[in-house]
Chain A
Amino acid sequence: MKIAVLGAGHVGPVIARLALAAGYEVGIAGSGDPSRIEMITDFLAPGAVALSAADAVAGADLVVLAIPWHRFPALEPGMFAGKVVIDSMNHWPPADTPLGTSEQVAARLSGARVVKTLNHVAYQDMEPAGGRAVGVAGDSPDAVAAVASFLGRIGFDPVPVGSLAAGRLLEPGGPVFGVAARRQEFENFVKEQS
């Protein structure tokens, strides 16, 4: 299975390293020409291949969005058609909008199956994953299952929290954002919300 990580900033190389360590093939893309992130990739995620976003996504079974929220509108939505996409982005600072951010992502990437996860874990707390509980939200059960399997393999304990709308639970200001919650606590929060 091939993973595309979009974003070579704070978060992207960390997720790429975890995926590489679990035996996945990883392509990583920044904004623009892949040569701009070759050196970063060589040192921070050795083994990953620096690609353009389009090439990385085209060859991947699973795509991880690890770019700043304000860069998201610059992504070409068509290339995500048919892909399972992990949205790990946050609107920062938190904005008061009627929809959760992953619902907005899903609306724009209409051909993709979007799953919200990892957004609530600070990048410095992701490595090692150490069996940390992470919430997983999505509208496609198959996509949620695929992402949960990926998360489990790279060392997290995935906890389904429901639909993308339910995934607002994981957003800034929510009860698990930035918090090292255990599986049981996650499940309690999900019960409270439903």
Chain B
Amino acid sequence: MTTTFGLDTFGDVTHDASGTPLTHAQTIRNLVEQGVLADQVGLDFFGIGEHHTPDMPLSAADVVLAAIAARTSSIHLGSAVTVLSSDDPVRVYQRFSTLNAVSGGRAEIILGRGSSVDSFPLFGYDLADYEDLFEEKTHLFAELLKGGPITWQGKTRAALHEQDVVPYTEPFPTWIGVGGSPQSVVRAASYGFSLMLAIIGGHPGRFAPFSELYKHALEKFGRDPLPIGIHSPGHVAETDEQAREEFWPHYLDLIGRLGKTRGFATPTPESYAHEVGPHGALFVGSPETVAEKMARTMKKLDASRFDLKYGIGGLSHESLMRTIELYGTKVVPLVQDMLA
């Protein structure tokens, strides 16, 4: 399977050189520039993860993707992820189908149940229902992707009868983002969606049984092989020391804050050293270090796609542009050589 390489971001608010946060509007304008640079350095994919918080103001990522589409020609553009559980699959389909039209068939979508769950209270959903919501809405989304008038009935939205849901465009790749739920792996296979493994902590190798489960499930459901992808956080700079030093204070701040609501332990210098080391999930370092770890992880998990989640909040736009440049011009060619 052809290997492809992308960047994902949650559109975290960046800071200026003096450490002052930029406005949401400026952060979003900068994000468009980052997407354009990702295309210029030859990357295959640029994804934006839906979030609804003041430090991650990307609630309407598809609008930003459309702006990037207008200024690029080959990079694929998508979500990472779309929180389908708290959205209307009809509206999601309409938006991404429109993005697909605008971009000349470059849309992709990664569907998720929601790890960041701010969208549930915002849109009036009960977190306790999130599995059932995702199950039903994924089914509807899969039906919509078939194209043509649709007849559908469920518990989570109005029924559809011989309904045209437009625009009709070319098929676009659909993935399911999986953080650790084996049911989601089987679900992806059953719908014929690609598998995106979100590996954000711990040893990436522990996901290898998920890849095996996915391949077996595809076979059992009579489907052709589909790509397996990896989404992991990281930061690339000229040297390991520089990358680690730049990333650390913002990582400590982010995980420290998220930990209160999500149960993450506050990182320590020891736990950080482990995560950036060969057995951890942070792809932080020089181009050589990050490339070596990516190649090893892709082989281990039989993955043909790697999306580096760059842009942790608090770094500067300039620093992120440097990461994108190094990732596209140095890291990816190194990984391609290692996998060849």
A interface residues with partner B (beta carbon < 8 Å): 8-10, 13, 30, 39-40, 42-44, 70, 90, 92-93, 122-125, 127, 172, 177-180
Contacts and interface: CB of A to CB of B under 8 A. Distances in A.
A90 B209 contact: no
29 contacts: A9-B180, A9-B181, A9-B182, A10-B179, A10-B181, A13-B182, A40-B183, A40-B185, A40-B186, A43-B210, A43-B212, A44-B210, A70-B128, A90-B263, A92-B263, A122-B201, A122-B202, A122-B263, A122-B264, A122-B265, A123-B180, A124-B201, A124-B202, A124-B203, A125-B202, A178-B263, A178-B265, A179-B266, A180-B265
Interface stretch (B44-52, B102-110, B213-221, B226-234): B213-221
Interface residues of B, number: 27
Contact of A177 (B127, B213, B263): B263
B261 A44 contact: no
Given A9-B182, A178-B263, A39 B202 contact: no
Contacts of B183: 8-9, 30, 40
Contacts of A9: 180-183
B265 A179 contact: yes
Contact of A39 (B206, B217, B263, B265): B217
Interface string B173-210: 00000011111011000000000000001110010011
A132 B220 CA distance: 38
Interface of B: 127-128, 179-183, 185-186, 201-203, 206, 209-210, 212-213, 216-217, 220, 259, 261, 263-266, 271
A178 B259 contact: yes
Nearest to A121: B265
Nearest to B185: A40
A93 B121 CA distance: 12
B181 A43 contact: no
Contact of B216 (A10, A39, A123, A178): A39
A109 B75 CA distance: 56
A124 B271 contact: no
**Chain B at the A interface: SS class:** helix
Contacts of A39: 186, 213, 216-217, 220
A5 to B, nearest CB: 13
A90 B261 CA distance: 13
Candidate in B182, B186, B201, B266 with the most chain A CB atoms within 10 angstroms: B182
A21 B14 CA distance: 46
Contacts of B182: 8-9, 13, 40, 43-44
A100 to B, nearest CB: 16
Contacts of A43: 182, 209-210, 212-213, 216
A148 B314 CA distance: 44
Nearest to A124: B202
Contacts of B180: 9-10, 123-124
A13 B127 CA distance: 23
A172 B263 contact: yes
B130 to A, nearest CB: 9
Candidate in B185, B213, B263 with the most chain A CB atoms within 10 angstroms: B263
A51 B259 CA distance: 35
Given A8-B183, A44-B182, A179-B266, 8 more contacts: A9-B183, A39-B217, A43-B182, A44-B213, A124-B202, A125-B202, A177-B263, A178-B265
Nearest to B211: A43
B224 to A, nearest CB: 18
Contacts of A122: 201-202, 263-265
Contacts of B264: 122, 178
Contacts of B127: 93
Nearest to B212: A43
Contacts of A178: 259, 263-265
Contacts of B128: 70
Contacts of B263: 90, 92, 122, 172, 177-178
A44 B209 contact: yes
Shortest 3 CB-CB contacts between residues of A and residues of B: A124-B202, A178-B265, A43-B213
